[in-house]
């Protein structure tokens, strides 16, 4: 059960290892006949080069790490392909790296980069609670993509980031609710001081209420259940049931993601509530599913194409020209659908 190596192939072909290496790596300067012969032996023997050895030697792998924290959220999974296309356009490949729930994404990324000799990193989602400092120790360019537009301006220069304008987007959703007559608007969010997308979206909610002279009622700010996955419908469902049980005055519910909004809708309907007549509901992200749910969900669609493109552009700008850190914010698109507008809407695209 011995592994077959490049030396075995060389011996079998009666050539030197470097010739075999040249064939494997598509180098020129190999006699076409020799190349054919070597290729066929490789084929027959089922030889596969050992990538660890290659990585060890190679100085540049022309690869970018994609660090993912939450693989469950469809919003993130749908961005993977977009990022990959952008990276490939530049002749690089994208190597995904999933970070487990308990792990620190930055520590994990550092090991991964070293192992694979990667030239850059895209962090997709994640929280970076305590690791903003650690990010600086990364020895390659990196971009935080869709991780929320972290608001503390002091740390702005420390990294590049591309996100939707979470605060503004959330504000637009709330304004839409206010414009359609709602004043008693609940919101499902994480911790208040959280520097995550959830925190930013909560800020947008608070600001917009204030701007419209609507007093903020703490009882309408619902904490998600920390023991259930954050972006899950289940969490939205359970949290909403608790809200409804409290029987506070409320005619609209904002969820901070579409997946959560689905759970909200279900909880409302199981309690006999009609959407949007009894409760208007909004989501966030604009995943495909939000359109196929019934009622279809009013949401803020993130411009994932733009975000993916800008993320990679920014990364390569830094990679190739050593450019400065920049923090980009894109506007989302407000999609008004059945969960706030009523009736069955048929979308054509």
Q: Which residues bind a second copy (CB under 8 A)?
A: 1, 3, 46, 48-53, 55-56, 71-72, 74, 77-78, 80, 84, 96, 98, 100, 110-111, 114-117, 137, 139, 232-234, 237, 262-263, 265-266, 269-270, 272, 288-289, 291-294, 296, 344, 346
Rule CB under 7 A: say whether 6 interacts with DNA. yes
- Decide if 339 contacts 280 (C-beta within 8 A): yes
Name the minimum Å distance from CB 178 to a second copy. 26
Segment near DNA (CB under 7 A), from 24-32, 188-196, 234-242, 317-325?
Answer: 24-32
- Least distance from C-beta 55 to DNA, angstroms? 9
19 binds DNA (CB under 7 A): yes
The nearest distance, CB 11 to DNA, in angstroms, is 10
Q: Rule CB under 7 A: which of 181-220 touch DNA?
A: none
Residue 334 to residue 297: CA distance in whole angstroms: 11
Contact mark string toward DNA, 30..69, x via CB under 7 A: xx--xx-----------x-xx--xx-xxxx----------
Asked whether the beta carbons of 297 and 324 are under 8 A apart, the reply is no
Phi, psi torsion values for 248, nearest 5 degrees: -80, 160
The CA-CA-CA angle for residues 178, 231, 167, to 5°, reads 40
Q: Which of 3, 26, 193, 227 binds DNA (CB under 7 A)?
A: 3
CA 149/CA 78 separation, integer angstroms: 20
Residues 6+ apart with CB under 8 A from 157: 325
Are 230 and 224 in contact by the 8 Å Cβ rule? The answer is: yes
Asked if 14 touches DNA (CB under 7 A), the answer is: yes
Task: Give phi and psi for 119, each to the nearest 5.
Answer: -95, -10
> Which of a second copy, DNA, none does 17 bind, CB closer than 5 to 8 A by kind?
DNA
CA angle 307, 302, 164 (to 5 degrees): 60
Closest Cα partner for 119 from 140, 146, 145? Answer: 140
**CA-CA distance, 325 to 143, in Å (whole number)?**
9
Rounded Cα gap, residues 163 and 148, in angstroms: 6
Report in angstroms how near the CB of residue 325 gets to a second copy at its nearest.
18
Length of the chain: 349
Q: Does 22 bind DNA (CB under 7 A)?
A: yes
Smallest gap from residue 121 Cβ to DNA (A): 19
Nearer to DNA, 18 or 40 (CB): 18
Of residues 45 and 294, the one with the C-beta less far from DNA: 45
Judged by CB under 7 A, which stretch of 10-18, 80-88, 159-167, 172-180 contacts DNA?
A: 10-18
| Closest C-alpha among 138, 64, 166 to residue 325 | 138
Nearer to DNA, 50 or 212 (CB): 50
Q: Which does 30 bind (CB under 5 to 8 A by kind): DNA, a second copy, none?
A: DNA
Q: Are 167 and 236 in contact (CB under 8 A)?
A: no
Would you say the C-alpha torsion 340, 341, 344, 347 has a positive or negative sign? negative
- C-beta closer to DNA: residue 138 or 334: 138
Which residues, other chains included, contact 210 with Cβ-Cβ below 8 Å and sequence gap of 6+?
216
Q: How far is the CB of 103 from DNA (least distance, A)?
A: 20
Considering CB distances under 5 to 8 angstroms, the limit depending on partner class, which of DNA, a second copy, none binds residue 18? DNA
Minimal distance, residue 38 CB to DNA, in Å: 9
Q: Which residue from 245, 297, 305 is spatially nearest to 271, judged by alpha carbons?
A: 245
Whether 117 contacts 61, CB under 8 Å? yes
Q: Does 21 bind DNA (CB under 7 A)?
A: yes
The structure tokens 């997308």 sit at 197
With CB under 5 to 8 Å by kind, the binding choice for 272 among DNA, a second copy, none is a second copy
Q: In the complex, which residues of this chain contact DNA (CB under 7 A)?
A: 3, 5-7, 14-19, 21-22, 24-25, 28-31, 34-35, 47, 49-50, 53-54, 56-59
């Amino acid at each position: 059960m011995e592994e077959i190596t490049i030396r075995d192939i060389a011996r079998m072909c009666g050539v030197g290892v470097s010739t075999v290496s040249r064939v494997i790596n598509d180098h020129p300067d190999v006699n076409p006949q020799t190349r054919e012969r070597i290729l066929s032996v490789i084929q027959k023997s089922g030889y596969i080069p050992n990538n660890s050895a290659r990585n060890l030697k190679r100085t540049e792998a022309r690869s970018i790490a994609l660090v993912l924290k939450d693989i469950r959220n469809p919003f993130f999974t749908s961005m993977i392909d977009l990022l990959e296309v952008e990276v490939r356009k530049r002749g690089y490949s994208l190597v995904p790296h999933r970070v487990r729930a308990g792990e620190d994404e930055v520590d994990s990324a550092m090991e991964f980069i070293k192992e694979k000799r990667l030239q850059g990193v895209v962090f997709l989602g994640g929280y970076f609670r305590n690791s903003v400092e650690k990010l600086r120790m990364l020895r390659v360019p990196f971009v935080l993509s869709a991780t929320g537009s972290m608001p503390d301006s002091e740390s702005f220069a420390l990294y590049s980031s591309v996100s939707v304008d979470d605060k503004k987007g959330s504000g637009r959703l709330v304004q839409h609710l206010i414009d359609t007559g709602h004043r008693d608007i609940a919101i499902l969010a994480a911790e208040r001081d959280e520097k995550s997308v959830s925190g930013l979206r909560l800020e947008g909610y608070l600001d917009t209420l204030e701007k419209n002279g609507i007093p903020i009622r703490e009882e309408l700010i619902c904490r998600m259940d920390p023991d259930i996955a954050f972006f899950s419908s289940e969490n939205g469902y359970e949290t909403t049931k608790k809200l409804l049980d409290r029987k506070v005055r409320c005619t609209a519910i904002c969820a901070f993601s579409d997946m959560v909004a689905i759970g909200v809708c279900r909880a409302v309907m199981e309690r006999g509530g009609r959407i949007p007549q009894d409760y208007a509901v909004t989501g966030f992200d604009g995943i495909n599913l939000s359109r196929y749910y019934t009622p279809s969900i009013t949401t803020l669609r993130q411009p994932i194409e733009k975000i993916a493109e800008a993320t990679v552009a920014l990364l390569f700008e830094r990679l190739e020209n050593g450019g400065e850190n920049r923090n980009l914010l894109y506007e989302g698109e407000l999609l008004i659908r059945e969960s706030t507008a009523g009736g069955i809407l048929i979308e054509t695209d």
